[in-house]
Structure 1
Amino acid sequence: MGLTSDKVLALAVLGALGLFVGTVWLWPRLARRGWRAVSGRVGLLLSTQLMLFTAVGLAANQAFGFYATWADLFGQEKGQGVVVDHTPAGGPLKVVDTRRVPGAASARPQLGGQIQKIAVVGRMSHIATPAYVYLPPEYFQPRYRTRTFPAAVVLTGYPGTAEALVDKLDYPRTAARLVEDGRMQPMILVMMRPTVAPPRDTECVDIPGGPQTETFFAQDLPDAVSGQYRVARGQGGWGIIGDSTGGYCALKLAMHHPRVYAAGAGLSAYYNAPNDPTTGDLFHGDKELRNRANLWWYLKHMPAPDTSLLVSSSKVGESNYKATLKFIERVKATKLTRISSIILESGGHNFNTWRREIPGTLEWMSGRLGGR
């Protein structure tokens, strides 16, 4: 049974409840002196606490999508996600599965849209990774058969799971509802995690001698998706959204590649690549690469990018609040780069907060992208 299985969570809850009842039942028998009685009491308390911790941890992981598998949790995912050959068919993108949109009134794509699971192989980066593509109902309707649609890449945090963008953060269902309400245009969403070389957190950097993650997102992914779907080509057709690590990546990619991404939205983002055990050495002594990954440095020393940015934070509950206000002022001083924000009165670094920000973010993104 998988880490995110409801059965695993149910067994953990039942185990915790059973140990609690057992502790209450056996406590009178162990309420005497002697090493055996003391050891029994200690064992029951530790077992109960451990099972409670396990149940709470499993529930939190299901809610926030920290880890996808047991191997992911215990750091046993060692594959770097880098390939040397193309797919057997010779193309960079392959559809491997289709599913209905959660909560859609109909399973027919013309009425409820469709989610396709794809496998992407970067022609330049040679990175291979899965993703989910949301196609709106209009994509399948005859009257739109010649229309191209704007597209937005949607990224999780680290480590994150792409499934959480569909099932927990409700991106497809939210987009469909906004279109029905006339608040946004139909848009294709390409949903994935930025961890394309697991378990390493590459921070969307082209690592010297390592995964070329920025190249994958800036060139390989848009090229592969545009070759498979009716996506608006040229400047103004693509945007990128992310939360936490994905938010940093979204802002950086929009700033570094404004001709690719006309808009970038960072929800609870930070503004400089961290250096910690999950990232390893990202720059290998390359000062220029390190500077480019620092958005503060980039705004000060590089020409202002012709793109639109959106940042979000909360006055209470988010550690990036002051930095976000400072970032807004720094971008405004460039005169060319456009900046918008969502500032909540309170909210944490979690799914519940991002669900409150996603409708406004999608509406904002829709207004800055164009199809034809």
Structure 2
Amino acid sequence: MGLTSETTVYVMVALAAVCVALLVWLWPRFARQGWRQVLARLVAVGTTQVVIIAAFACWLNSSYQFFGSWGELFGRVETAPVGVTQAGGPGVGTGNDVAVRGALVQPAGDEQLSRVSGLPAGPAAVTGRVESVKVIGRRTGVVDPAFVYLPPQYFQKAYQRQRFPVIVALSGYPGSIFNLAQHLRVSQTAGELQRSGRMQPTVMVMIRPTIAPPRDTECVNVPGGPQTETFLAKDLPEALKSAYRVGHDASAWGVMGYSSGGSCALQLTMRDPHVYTTAAALSPDYKVKDDPTTGDLFGSGPGRADRINGHDLMWRLKHLPAPQVSVLVAESKHGERGYPQTQAFIKAVKAPMRVASILPEHGSHNFPTWVQEMPPALEWMSRQLTFPQDVVPRHVKKGAGAADRPATGHGTLRADGTEPTPTAGTRR
């Protein structure tokens, strides 16, 4: 039985019901005096509670897909498929290239995808298509599952020589691509916006930044450990460019996410502006810190302080030149803890970096809030990314996007995704 299957949930619920029934039936025997009876009562109550909690955890995991398999739950992670061999270096995750026989993007099972509601149905040239794949990192050896949404135009003859902009959507921790597709409704929202003309045709890639579950690596290259930043900033774009007609210029690449995925989106854009020029972060943090789920992210030795500062976005804004990127941050004024930090981040941004914001009055750190913020965030991102780009590099065409705009300014988006009239000090 798979960890996320309904059969597992039903079995655990039935087992919990049996434990409760046995506890009630046998309790009179356990009520007698004596140390054995006391021990029996403790074991019976403890076992029943553990089974009930396990049943609830299985149901919760089946609904939100935090862990996709028993191996992930216990830390046994697939690192490389058959055909990937190490070349000239120590283990996976050290940054040494691996020799890959076969494609960097390969088909994957549809078990999770089949449970997502509202996906395109019909001819791909009319409704688009969502593919379930696994992405193989040539440098890191990481194998990560992903959903890829291809818009209808991708399959239409009029666009057969066009490269499309890309938005990489990152889940939070310990989230999954199922959360992005089912609960955040990434592809469904993008499809609706594109059909209504509020968003240009864009390839949406849903992927999790948790490449070494159950550890939360926060998109950091851990010394001697998982190389998450390398995978997301180098391996992932290389793999997608090898498999799909997507833009080869950074102006066509954006990244977004919620919670820790939003933090990753900001980190990637500010640290790797030659890869991602646009980010949208829903309820992010602005500094990476060690905690029980991350372990030691920065290692020891004289370089530790520099590594910590490098992942502190407020420190970067104060001490390093601002990258020429556009970012959007979203945080509720009431109901989320990060509003003061978000305001401080917005005020700290300086040219040539640009920042926009979605600041609703009320909201919580949950999917209903992020679903409301998704349409304006995607519309804003779409206006930053260049399109179309011709398949032949020397004939690249650029549409109205980040490359055509002044690279400075602050803005707050309205609920419909439009920007208000600039305030004093904002250049257009």
State the Cα distance separating 1:308 from its structure 2 match: 1.1
Q: Identify the residue that residue 315 of structure 1 maps to in structure 2.
A: 333
2:166 to 130, 146, 151: 151
The answer to whether the 8 Å contact 2:100/2:138 transfers is: no
Structure 2 residue 273 is the aligned partner of structure 1 residue 258: yes
TM-score scaled by length of structure 2: 0.76
Structure 1 residues 324 and 49, CA, compared in 2 at 3 Å: closer, same or farther?
same
**Equivalences for 1:322-337 in 2 at 5 Å?**
322-331=340-349, 334-337=350-353
Structure 1 residues 121 and 21, CA, compared in 2 at 3 Å: closer, same or farther?
closer
Structure 2 residue 356 is the aligned partner of structure 1 residue 343: no
The answer to whether the 8 Å contact 2:290/2:296 transfers is: yes
Amino acid at match of 1:280: D
* Count of aligned pairs between the two proteins: 368
State the Cα distance separating 1:68 from its structure 2 match: 2.3
Q: Which secondary structure does the structure 1 equivalent of 2:300 belong to? A: coil
Q: Answer with 286-295 or 120-129: which moved more.
A: 120-129
The answer to whether the 8 Å contact 1:63/1:168 transfers is: no
Q: Identify the residue that residue 369 of structure 1 maps to in structure 2.
A: 385
Structure 1 residues 356 and 20, CA, compared in 2 at 3 Å: closer, same or farther?
farther
Post-superposition CA distance 1:83-113 (Å, at most 9, x none):
8532213x53334467788424524322332
Structure 2 residue 208 is the aligned partner of structure 1 residue 173: no
**Equivalences for 1:197-236 in 2 at 5 Å?**
197-236=212-251
Percentage identity across paired residues of the two chains: 41
**Equivalences for 1:1-372 in 2 at 5 Å?**
1-21=1-21, 29=28, 33-35=32-34, 45-77=45-77, 82=93, 85-89=98-102, 91-96=103-108, 102-104=117-119, 106-277=121-292, 278-285=294-301, 286=303, 287-331=305-349, 334-372=350-388
Q: Which secondary structure does the structure 2 equivalent of 1:86 belong to? A: strand
State the Cα distance separating 1:240 from its structure 2 match: 0.1
The answer to whether the 8 Å contact 1:121/1:128 transfers is: yes
The answer to whether the 8 Å contact 1:254/1:264 transfers is: yes
State the Cα distance separating 1:206 from its structure 2 match: 2.9
The answer to whether the 8 Å contact 2:278/2:327 transfers is: yes
The answer to whether the 8 Å contact 1:78/1:198 transfers is: no
Q: Identify the residue that residue 411 of structure 2 maps to in structure 1.
A: none
Post-superposition CA distance 1:252-283 (Å, at most 9, x none):
11112223212111122111111134242424
Structure 1 residues 96 and 64, CA, compared in 2 at 3 Å: closer, same or farther?
closer
State the Cα distance separating 1:241 from its structure 2 match: 0.7
Structure 1 residues 32 and 206, CA, compared in 2 at 3 Å: closer, same or farther?
closer
The answer to whether the 8 Å contact 2:144/2:208 transfers is: no
The answer to whether the 8 Å contact 2:336/2:365 transfers is: yes
The answer to whether the 8 Å contact 1:134/1:190 transfers is: yes
Q: Answer with 120-129 or 53-62: which moved more.
A: 120-129
Structure 1 residues 84 and 200, CA, compared in 2 at 3 Å: closer, same or farther?
farther
Q: Answer with 301-310 or 76-85: which moved more.
A: 76-85
Q: Which secondary structure does the structure 2 equivalent of 1:173 belong to? A: helix
Post-superposition CA distance 1:271-302 (Å, at most 9, x none):
11111342424243313332211111101011
Structure 1 residues 234 and 7, CA, compared in 2 at 3 Å: closer, same or farther?
same
Amino acid at match of 1:142: K
Post-superposition CA distance 1:102-146 (Å, at most 9, x none):
424524322332222333333444544332211112211222222
State the Cα distance separating 1:54 from its structure 2 match: 2.1
Query: Where do 5+ consecutive residues of structure 1 fail to align?
Result: none
RMSD: 2.9
Q: Answer with 263-272 or 46-55: which moved more.
A: 46-55
State the Cα distance separating 1:21 from its structure 2 match: 5.0
Q: Which secondary structure does the structure 2 equivalent of 1:190 belong to? A: strand
Post-superposition CA distance 1:43-72 (Å, at most 9, x none):
554444333322322233234433222232
Structure 1 residues 210 and 49, CA, compared in 2 at 3 Å: closer, same or farther?
closer
The answer to whether the 8 Å contact 1:267/1:311 transfers is: yes
Structure 1 residues 200 and 42, CA, compared in 2 at 3 Å: closer, same or farther?
closer
Q: State the alpha-carbon separation in 1 of the partners of residues 120 and 221 from structure 2.
A: 42
Q: State the alpha-carbon separation in 1 of the partners of residues 181 and 357 from structure 2.
A: 24
Structure 1 residues 65 and 345, CA, compared in 2 at 3 Å: closer, same or farther?
farther
State the Cα distance separating 1:338 from its structure 2 match: 1.5
The answer to whether the 8 Å contact 1:241/1:265 transfers is: yes
The answer to whether the 8 Å contact 2:97/2:140 transfers is: no
Post-superposition CA distance 1:316-365 (Å, at most 9, x none):
4423222122212222xx13322122234443333333223222222221
Structure 1 residues 284 and 133, CA, compared in 2 at 3 Å: closer, same or farther?
farther
Amino acid at match of 2:375: P
Query: Where do 5+ consecutive residues of structure 2 fail to align?
Result: 80-90, 389-428
